[in-house]
Structure 1
Amino acid sequence: MIWPATWLAALAGLVLASIPGALLGALLGQVLDRRLALRSWGELYRRLGGTPALSGEELLFVALGRLAKADGRVQEQHIQQAREEMRRLELQADAQRAAIDAFARGKAGQDDLRRPLRRLRHQPDQARQLLQACVRMAQADRRLGGAEQRLLETWRDWLGVPRSELDGLLASSRRGAPAAAVRSAYEQALQLLGVDSQADASEIKRAYRRQLSRCHPDKLTGSGATPAQIRAATEKTRELHAAYALLRQRRR
């Protein structure tokens, strides 16, 4: 992770007062980075009113957030799919928080994705991987809405991916999606609550309450937590509610 204010303050301190100044500047910059939740140069640029180019995982999760919100309401299946993409990419805690922030930005729909997606024309493998992830998100709720279809078609064009490839991805996703999606969501719910498939109703309920007590955002109130940490706790709480509801439904 890059702490931009830390680097800038350390450099300024080095210029003004050599090594002691650099150390003091780095300390003050780190405080500023943590207070403002600055985790990248792009985040700093946004705070200063700029609009840096999206790339990599940030671009992916902004696109996924846009798709999840495309038909009006983000479903729990969309949130679960976003988590699945994080697991697929093996993101660590800091990268997961950045992905959650990017997903939220995507839902807001304020980023122009044309230029960053068109840049991937020169990286066809990454373009296809991003489109595959977008198809998985679009069909996470087992239906493909008109707005989602239009976004996928537009992004396919910007990415330079042949129409036949998108058609193939959609057809493949439709063919075994329902059973696989239900099974995957059920297994994810068990994993999230920390129980196995043999756990009885009382064990599941205890696990749910225990996990909920650990991460509820109300516990962060007045603790000096950053907005990003509160959003992450809120997201985790929402996932726990959804996981418990799914297990109750499956177990009747």
Structure 2
Amino acid sequence: MHYWGKIIGVVLAIVSGLGFWGALIGLILGHGFDKASAQRKFAGGMNKRDRQAIFFASTFQILGHLTKSKGRVTETDIQLASNLMDRMQLHGETRKAAQQAFREGKAPDFPLRDVLKQLRMACYGRFDLIQMFLEIQLQAAFADGNLHPNERKVLFIIAEELGISKSQFEQFLDMIQGGRQFGQGYSQQQSGGYYQQSSGPTLEDACKVLGVSINDEPTKIKRAYRKLMSEHHPDKLIAKGLPPEMMEIAKQKAQSIQAAYDLVKRERGFK
């Protein structure tokens, strides 16, 4: 049982002479310590294969739930999910598992928060995995060129349960929107009823991908670029628990970051 944090917090408050309110605060802080300890123990006792399985299933379950949040699931939605599976080169039993997870996510009683809590515990101490998960969901939400209000609500819940602040979430939104101009995400033919980018990337788009401002100093831009490339290095992500089927997505993300950085260097005139 994880209760030592609570006991220590209360005892320290009493010994310090902080009274009832001090003991209450100590109890709350101790509870937070116990919760974090439980998460570390859960994640620490999990092997990479289990972590990859949870990440894989959660990805498609949440995608199904996100799609259903708009109301009726259309043929376009199904095609977009199929396109993602194609990008991952999913075939046979692996593709069937992804399709089954997607159907589970569409169920009216799908336990969204419980699934996200399990994912967060599985990825404890691996924020780059959490970040990759959110980016996949954001790409899916923007796949048709629009972010439905209900999709936004679900995305807020995802961010909240995964410990992502509102400011971080808004930054991820900007990065995904900018990344669409660099071939990141889903690009479909307009004639088929899907969304298609009509113009090339701009300096502003590139800066969104890197999470910087147009007028930032070159040193700050370089630092942001290196950090992003490190966070999205496919081999590092696989080692931390990203399913190998998703390596192609990580590679494409890294390529869009590189393309954005090259554009910024060219437009700003630095090497």
Whose helix proportion is higher, 1 or 2? Answer: 1
Higher relative contact order structure (alpha carbons within 8 Å, sequence separation ≥ 6)? 2
Tell me the TM-score normalized by structure 2.
0.43
Tell me the TM-score normalized by structure 1.
0.46
